[in-house]
Structure 1
Amino acid sequence: MIIRHPKKNLAAVAVSDVPAPPHNSRASTEPTSVQRAAPTRPVDTLGTQNRRLIRNQLYDQIDPLKAAALGRDALRQQVEAVIRKICDDSRLQLSRQEEQAVGEEMLNEMVGIGPIQPLLGDDSVNDILVNGAGQVFVERYGKLELSPITFIDEEHVFNTAQRIAAAVGRRIDEAHPMVDARLADGSRVNVITYPLAIDGTTISIRKFMRRNMSLDILAERGALSFEMAEVLKRGMLAKLNIVVSGGTGAGKTTLLNALSQNISDEDRVITIEDAAELQLQQRHVVRLETRPVSAEGTGKVDQRDLVRNALRMRPDRIILGEVRGGESFDMLQAMNTGHDGSLCTVHANTPRDAIMRLENMVMMAGMQLPLEAIRRQIASAVNLIVQVERMRDGGRRIVSITEVCGMENDVIQTQELYGFTTSSVDADGRLVGQFNASGQRPQFYTRHAHLFTGGQ
């Protein structure tokens, strides 16, 4: 057994990503396969001081340089042996269950992201929200609930945040108190710390969905009707430019993934995101990701830079994860110059609001275009606006499919094809409603009738 202190005759643990003791933030994190959460209550009964004592002594006895050969199961055995020796030396009385719980917690510290690592393996959890050391909330099925999981102290939370940032080459400290990052499994992470976060380091994780849902699966789950799914499939087949609109956590990325499943394997697709989340299955996909400014104040690459570069890469379709600035002008230009079938998302509460947001963001590009010219760009570029909403029962639904029909005078004309109407609330608090067709025939059905068999 390899140990840091041979005279103690303790088992050594070995992994390539063992973090340094709490005062050292240089180690990285590589989430590995996650097992079910170990019981958290037995760990909590130890008290903060004992948890800190075990953690610090364990790190003192780890030799990470000679440890890379051990797998998770072998590492678990070694960690539990070291913990047992620490408890004997310190006269801590732990049951077998408590030793296993502490061992699992320490294991998650070494090869994951600490106490919240088990939540990444829980498919019922969509969001993980750490509000300082004593509060970890999770979102399940659209509802927030307080988890029993806690951190030891603020230093523990901050050290975890530093490892998350270091894993993607970024830093979090008082000089750089905010950071956006991505875990190895694709989950998005936002961290904000002192002095901006007054009550302690806050970590917000939007989990990467391993299940890549299709439009049909979403329809089966009640997010839209099968008739609406068919309209969207035809829109993708006809290479319509589609804007997915909705609020935070409404399911825009999930819908974007579902729409992308209807892209031809023959198309060259370029995706542009702040944090890569899209799960395209096509064989010809190029993924681009923005880069923040470095510690030296250089090296920033934003979405507008990437959109401009993508136009030189011979794309058939461009998928922009989220439009929120001057890149909207370049995206509209791309949609108007032969890159049909492009997709993007925008934060807005209604389809009309989405159009207004696009207008405002084009103005942010500094092109000094008159409003009428901007509206004509939007009217000729965008074909469909799909509005998604996280409703008060936690359910995510497509509440509107709206077709952009062109310009009349200086107003963009639209027609709603489908909408969702709430009729009641059932005994469990779930909304009961209907997806309704407006009766309007989509204009693109006529323009692309040759593509559809058994047409409407």
Structure 2
Amino acid sequence: MSFDQNKNQDEILRRWTEKYRSELGPLLPFVDDPDVAEIWLNPNMNVWVTYLDGKGKVKTDIQIPPSQSNLLLRSIASRLGKTITEENPILSGVLPDGSRFQGEIPPIVDRPSFNIRKKAVRIFTLDEYVESGILSPDQRRVISEAIKNRKNILVVGGAGSGKTTLTNAILQELATLDPKTRVVMIEDIPELQCPVEDHVNFYVAHTERTDVSMDVLLRTTLRKTPDRIVVGEVRGKEAHVLLKAWSTGHPGGACTVHADDAREGVQKIYDYANEAIVGQINPKSVSRTVNLAVFISKTPTSPGRRVEEIVVIDGFRDGEFIVTPIETKGDS
């Protein structure tokens, strides 16, 4: 692309951003607030936000009428090169600022609804997690020692539980403990932030012209001389390549997985890895490779999320993984 074409694209993005920010109206302060993690509009026109600083989920006094929300949805659809209509009432994508957008219109909802999950602009440290009550001091120590000793860490949680934010805190701790390490990261959507100077970010690409899966990127990663490999979220057969990488000279990594407790998270890694082969892998290969599982969940009261358990994986017996809790909620 020529300089003039780049300049033109920059101007188009600038104009769209100005339009988008004006259409956000009363939501703009929340979009600009680094302590806000997510903003959503329900079909009843009420707006809710989730804070990272301990306030948790908060219902605002803002209501957005369908005329305004429809305008915003169609503007975002245009930017994403998509349409949102009665025949195609769901809109998903990544905004230019890195935020994830999910929106719906009738007939699948009564009125327009959407979620804006912001890309983290602030990295919280493990010390800040302790100060806010999300981590106990002993839990912080366990995670820090695991990073220092090059253990593989699985961050487990449900949707919106803060898995990515916690992984960013782990990366921040890694930069402090091992600043000269080389980190290769793989994500669907750019969310992880690595302060380590020597790092590479790979992104899954599924477009009309490009089709590069996470599985392919993991194989590419092995040729990039990584010391540690970090994956934004494992959702499929790429787990098999990740386990191999972690167990053959690249320990000390991290990844996230969607599950309702630590044991289920480990089981999902095993199940996903089996999707890549005929038959089944030895479950001991999982228990030997995934050294630590950290489960974080949302809470209805302040601080809004909490690390509920940290477990080590001690083997596999009677069809399930044996996990031993190191710390539980409330320990200090």
Q: TM tier, shorter chain? A: 0.7 to 0.9
Query: How far is 1:252 from its partner?
Result: 0.8
Q: 1:416 aligns with which of 320, 325, 331?
A: 325
Query: How far is 1:253 from its partner?
Result: 0.9
Instruction: Tell me which residue corresponds to 2:4.
Output: none
Do the aligned partners of residues 110 and 16 (structure 1) sit closer, same or farther apart at CA in structure 2, a change above 3 Å counting? farther
Q: Equivalents in 1 of 2:119, 2:287: separation in Å?
A: 33
Kindly tell me the number of residue pairs found equivalent between the two proteins.
314
Query: How far is 1:188 from its partner?
Result: 2.2
Output aligned runs, 1:54-453, within 5 Å.
109=19, 111=21, 114-115=24-25, 116-131=27-42, 134-140=45-51, 141-151=55-65, 153=67, 156-165=68-77, 167=79, 170-174=81-85, 177-193=89-105, 197-263=108-174, 264-294=178-208, 299-365=210-276, 367-370=277-280, 373-394=281-302, 395-407=304-316, 412-420=321-329, 434-435=330-331
TM-score by length of 2: 0.83
Query: How far is 1:136 from its partner?
Result: 3.1
Letter in 2 for 1:29: W
Q: Equivalents in 2 of 1:302, 1:330: separation in Å?
A: 12
Q: Equivalents in 2 of 1:17, 1:316: separation in Å?
A: 40
1:376-420 per-position Cα deviation (integer Å, ceiling 9, x unaligned):
221121000001111232521111110123456875433211111
Q: Equivalents in 2 of 1:110, 1:362: separation in Å?
A: 41
Match of 2:206, SS state, is coil
Query: How far is 1:144 from its partner?
Result: 4.1
Query: Is the contact made by 2:313 and 2:321 (CA closer than 8 Å) also made in structure 1?
Result: yes
TM-score by length of 1: 0.62
1:305-328 per-position Cα deviation (integer Å, ceiling 9, x unaligned):
322222222222111111111111
Do the aligned partners of residues 200 and 289 (structure 1) sit closer, same or farther apart at CA in structure 2, a change above 3 Å counting? farther
Match of 1:279, SS state, is coil
Query: Is the contact made by 1:161 and 1:172 (CA closer than 8 Å) also made in structure 2?
Result: no
Do the aligned partners of residues 290 and 192 (structure 1) sit closer, same or farther apart at CA in structure 2, a change above 3 Å counting? farther
**Largest Rg, 1 or 2:** 1
Do the aligned partners of residues 110 and 392 (structure 1) sit closer, same or farther apart at CA in structure 2, a change above 3 Å counting? closer
Do the aligned partners of residues 119 and 28 (structure 1) sit closer, same or farther apart at CA in structure 2, a change above 3 Å counting? same
Do the aligned partners of residues 220 and 182 (structure 1) sit closer, same or farther apart at CA in structure 2, a change above 3 Å counting? same
Q: Equivalents in 1 of 2:264, 2:66: separation in Å?
A: 44
Structure 2 unaligned residues grouped into runs of 5+: 1-9
Query: How far is 1:304 from its partner?
Result: 2.2
Q: Equivalents in 2 of 1:191, 1:267: separation in Å?
A: 40
Query: How far is 1:235 from its partner?
Result: 0.6
Query: How far is 1:159 from its partner?
Result: 4.3
> What percentage of residue pairs aligned between the two structures are identical?
29
- Between 285-294 and 310-319, the greater mean CA deviation after superposition: 285-294
Do the aligned partners of residues 151 and 117 (structure 1) sit closer, same or farther apart at CA in structure 2, a change above 3 Å counting? farther
Larger strand proportion, structure 1 or 2?
2
1:358-387 per-position Cα deviation (integer Å, ceiling 9, x unaligned):
22222333x1232xx341221121000001
Letter in 2 for 1:397: R
Do the aligned partners of residues 219 and 379 (structure 1) sit closer, same or farther apart at CA in structure 2, a change above 3 Å counting? same
Structure number with greater CO (CA < 8 Å, separation at least 6) is 2
Q: Equivalents in 1 of 2:19, 2:66: separation in Å?
A: 12
Do the aligned partners of residues 350 and 274 (structure 1) sit closer, same or farther apart at CA in structure 2, a change above 3 Å counting? same
Q: Equivalents in 2 of 1:379, 1:331: separation in Å?
A: 14
Query: How far is 1:218 from its partner?
Result: 0.6
CA RMSD of aligned residues (A): 2.8
Q: Equivalents in 1 of 2:275, 2:92: separation in Å?
A: 23
